[in-house]
C-alpha cells in the first residue's frame, strides 16, 4: 500500500469523526502553543540578558585593588599606582594585542543636586578620561560623555552622571548644576551628560525570569550609580582613592590573553590585586542564569505529557468504537501493520494540524504576555518547527497504544460486534 493511499484513508477517517478530531487537534494546538510561547519568552529573556550583559563590556579586562568596590576582593596588600598603569601599557604594547588602556581613580564623595531639600547622596566619584566610555557600551541619555577639552587646565568643571544618580539627585537633563563634597572641600560642577543604565533589566520590577540571578551579580559588581569627573592631578589633602586599570581588547576573543597580560603586569597574584575579565564574568552569569531555563523545560514537558495522556485517552475511546471498521479493513486484506500505521498516521496528522494551529496561538500568547514583561519574546521559526515536531511525536506516541490494541483484535469478533 502506498503512503499516499494510507494517508487518504487516515484523512477520511478523521473527517468522519470531525468533532473528536477537532478536539484532539485542539489539545495538540494548546500543547504546541505552550511550548512555543514558553520557549519564545525564555529565549527572549536570554537574548535580552545577553544583550544587556554584553553592553557591560565583554571586551574589557580590569584590574582593581579592591578598595571596597569589589566584594570579596578584600583589598590588595599593595594598592595599584601610576607605575602599574605604565607597566600594563608596556605589557599590552609588547603583547601586540593592540588594546586600549584606560585608568580611573575612584573615591567616595557626597553629591547634592538641584532638588530643594534633597538629601546629600554618597556617590562613587570616578575620575577618568573620555576613553572610559569605551570600557562599556554606554548610551548617553542627555548631553555627552567626558571629552578631551574637559581635561584641559582652566576648563569649566563638569561631571557626567549615571541615570540612577541623576534621578536621585533630581537632575533631569544635562546643564544642571550639582555640588560635590569630599575631603578636599566642595565644588560645583555642571552636568555635561547623563548616561543610560547599560543593564536595562536592572530596572525591571516584574521579572520572574532568568535575569534575576544576573541582576544580583551585576548589582554586586557594577554599580552604575557613579559620578564621572575629568581626570586631573590630585589636590592637596585629597584622598588618593583606588586606581582601576582597564584594558579594552579590539576583539572579544583577545580578552583571555589580555587577562594574562594585565595579571602579569601588575603581579596580581603576589599583591592580591583582582584582575577580571568582564567577558568571562558575563559568560558565567549567562550560564548560571541558563539553569533557570530548565524550569521552563519542565513546564512544557509537563504540558506535553498532559497532552499525550489526553490524546491517548481520546484515541483509545475512539478506537474502541472502531472494532467493526478495523475488522472490515482486516477482512479486505489490511495487515496488522497497515492498521497500526493508519492509526499512528491519524494521531500524527491530528497533532501536526494542531501544531500548525498552535504556532500562531503561541506567537499571539507570547506577544500578549510580553507586554507584562520587560523584554520581547524571541520567536524562532526553527523552534516552531521543533515544537510542531514534538507535537507530532506526542500524537504518534498517544496513538501507539490504541493502535497496538486495534491491530491485535480478532477480525471475527470485530465483524460480530459490527453486526
Partner 1 sequence: MAREEAGVGDGSAAGAGGGDGVVARLEGVRRLHRRGASEVRALDGVDLEVRRGEWLAVTGPSGSGKSTLLHVLGLLDRPTEGRYLLEGRDTAALDDAAASRLRGRSIGFVFQDFHLLPEETALRNVMLPLLYAGARGARERAMEALRSVGLEGRVEHRPGELSGGEQQRVAIARALVKEPVLVLADEPTGNLDSATGARVLDLLAALHARGITLVVVTHEPEVAARAGRRVEVRDGRIAAATGGGGAARR
Nearest to 396 by CA among 354, 336, 352, 337: 352
CB of 333 to partner 1, least distance (A): 2
Q: Are 38 and 300 in contact (CB under 8 A)?
A: yes
Residue whose CB is less far from partner 1, 342 or 370:
342
Q: For residue 84, how many C-alpha atoms fall within 13 Å in the half-sphere facing its CB? A: 27
Residue whose CB is less far from partner 1, 259 or 330:
330
Pairing mode of beta strands 100-112, 60-64: unpaired
For residues 263 and 200, give the distance between their C-alpha atoms in angstroms, rounded to a whole number: 31
Q: Which three cell numbers stand for residue 304?
A: 506535553
CB of 3 to partner 1, least distance (A): 11
CB of 322 to partner 1, least distance (A): 10
CB of 16 to partner 1, least distance (A): 4
Q: How far is CA 76 from CA 12, 265, 281, in A?
A: 78, 15, 20
Taking only Cα atoms into account, the Rg of the chain, rounded to an integer number of angstroms, comes to: 32
Q: How far is CA 107 from CA 225, 228, 238, 243, in A?
A: 13, 11, 10, 9
Q: Are 191 and 161 in contact (CB under 8 A)?
A: yes
The CA-based angle 227-228-230, given to 5 degrees, is 145
Residue whose CB is less far from partner 1, 16 or 250:
16
Binding residues for partner 1, per CB under 8 A? Answer: 1-2, 5, 9, 12-13, 15-16, 324-325, 327-338, 410-412, 415, 418-419
For residues 101 and 125, give the distance between their C-alpha atoms in angstroms, rounded to a whole number: 20
CB of 337 to partner 1, least distance (A): 7
Residue whose CB is less far from partner 1, 25 or 189:
25
Residue whose CB is less far from partner 1, 111 or 334:
334
Pairing mode of beta strands 177-182, 185-195: antiparallel
For residues 108 and 128, give the distance between their C-alpha atoms in angstroms, rounded to a whole number: 14
CB of 399 to partner 1, least distance (A): 18
CB of 347 to partner 1, least distance (A): 17
Nearest to 279 by CA among 291, 271, 287: 287
Residue whose CB is less far from partner 1, 34 or 342:
342
The CA-based angle 336-337-343, given to 5 degrees, is 90
For residues 284 and 56, give the distance between their C-alpha atoms in angstroms, rounded to a whole number: 14
Nearest to 248 by CA among 233, 260, 258, 234: 258
Alpha helices, DSSP H, located in 56-162: 82-95
Residue whose CB is less far from partner 1, 18 or 372:
18
CB of 415 to partner 1, least distance (A): 7
Residue whose CB is less far from partner 1, 9 or 312:
9
Give the dihedral of Cα atoms 243, 248, 249, 251; nearest 10 deg: 150
Residue whose CB is less far from partner 1, 9 or 123:
9
For residues 241 and 229, give the distance between their C-alpha atoms in angstroms, rounded to a whole number: 13
CB of 308 to partner 1, least distance (A): 26
Residue whose CB is less far from partner 1, 251 or 410:
410
For residues 60 and 211, give the distance between their C-alpha atoms in angstroms, rounded to a whole number: 21
CB of 29 to partner 1, least distance (A): 23
Residue whose CB is less far from partner 1, 301 or 412:
412
For residues 281 and 60, give the distance between their C-alpha atoms in angstroms, rounded to a whole number: 11
CB of 26 to partner 1, least distance (A): 21
Amino acid at each position: 500500500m502506498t503512503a499516499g493511499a494510507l494517508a487518504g484513508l487516515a484523512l477520511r477517517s478523521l473527517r468522519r469523526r470531525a468533532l473528536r478530531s477537532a478536539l484532539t487537534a485542539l489539545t495538540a494546538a494548546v500543547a504546541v502553543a505552550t511550548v512555543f510561547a514558553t520557549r519564545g519568552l525564555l529565549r527572549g529573556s536570554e537574548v535580552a540578558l545577553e544583550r544587556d550583559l554584553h553592553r557591560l563590556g565583554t571586551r574589557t579586562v580590569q584590574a582593581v585593588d579592591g578598595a571596597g568596590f569589589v566584594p570579596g576582593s578584600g583589598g590588595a596588600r599593595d594598592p595599584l599606582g601610576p607605575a602599574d598603569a605604565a607597566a600594563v601599557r608596556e605589557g599590552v604594547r609588547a603583547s601586540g594585542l593592540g588594546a586600549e588602556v584606560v585608568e580611573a581613580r575612584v573615591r567616595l564623595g557626597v553629591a547634592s543636586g538641584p532638588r530643594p531639600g534633597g538629601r546629600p547622596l554618597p556617590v562613587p566619584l570616578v575620575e577618568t578620561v573620555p576613553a572610559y566610555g569605551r570600557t562599556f557600551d554606554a548610551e548617553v541619555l542627555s548631553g555627552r560623555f567626558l571629552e578631551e577639552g574637559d581635561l584641559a587646565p582652566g576648563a569649566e568643571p563638569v561631571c557626567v552622571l549615571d541615570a540612577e544618580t541623576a534621578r536621585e539627585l533630581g537632575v533631569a537633563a544635562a546643564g544642571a548644576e550639582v555640588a560635590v563634597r569630599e575631603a578636599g572641600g566642595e565644588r560645583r560642577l555642571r552636568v555635561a551628560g547623563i548616561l543610560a543604565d547599560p543593564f536595562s533589566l536592572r530596572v525591571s520590577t516584574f521579572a520572574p525570569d532568568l535575569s534575576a540571578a544576573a541582576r544580583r551579580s551585576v548589582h554586586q559588581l557594577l554599580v552604575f550609580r557613579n559620578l564621572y569627573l575629568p581626570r586631573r592631578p590630585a589636590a592637596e589633602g585629597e584622598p588618593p582613592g583606588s586606581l582601576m586599570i582597564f584594558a579594552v581588547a579590539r576583539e572579544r576573543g583577545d580578552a583571555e590573553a589580555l587577562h594574562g597580560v594585565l595579571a602579569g603586569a601588575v603581579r596580581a597574584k603576589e599583591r592580591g590585586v583582582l584582575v577580571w575579565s568582564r567577558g568571562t564574568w558575563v559568560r558565567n552569569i549567562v550560564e548560571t542564569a541558563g539553569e533557570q531555563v530548565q524550569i521552563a523545560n519542565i513546564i512544557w514537558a509537563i504540558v506535553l505529557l498532559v497532552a499525550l495522556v489526553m490524546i491517548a485517552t481520546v484515541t483509545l475511546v475512539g478506537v474502541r468504537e472502531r472494532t467493526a471498521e478495523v475488522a472490515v479493513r482486516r477482512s479486505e486484506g489490511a495487515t496488522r501493520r497497515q492498521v497500526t500505521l493508519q492509526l499512528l498516521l491519524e494521531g500524527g496528522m491530528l497533532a501536526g494540524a494542531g501544531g500548525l494551529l498552535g504556532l500562531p496561538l503561541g506567537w499571539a500568547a507570547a506577544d500578549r504576555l510580553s507586554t507584562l514583561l520587560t523584554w520581547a519574546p524571541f520567536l524562532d521559526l526553527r523552534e516552531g518547527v521543533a515544537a510542531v515536531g514534538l507535537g507530532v511525536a506526542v500524537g504518534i506516541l498517544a496513538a501507539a497504544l490504541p493502535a497496538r490494541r486495534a491491530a491485535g483484535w480478532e477480525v471475527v469478533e470485530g465483524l460480530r460486534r459490527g453486526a
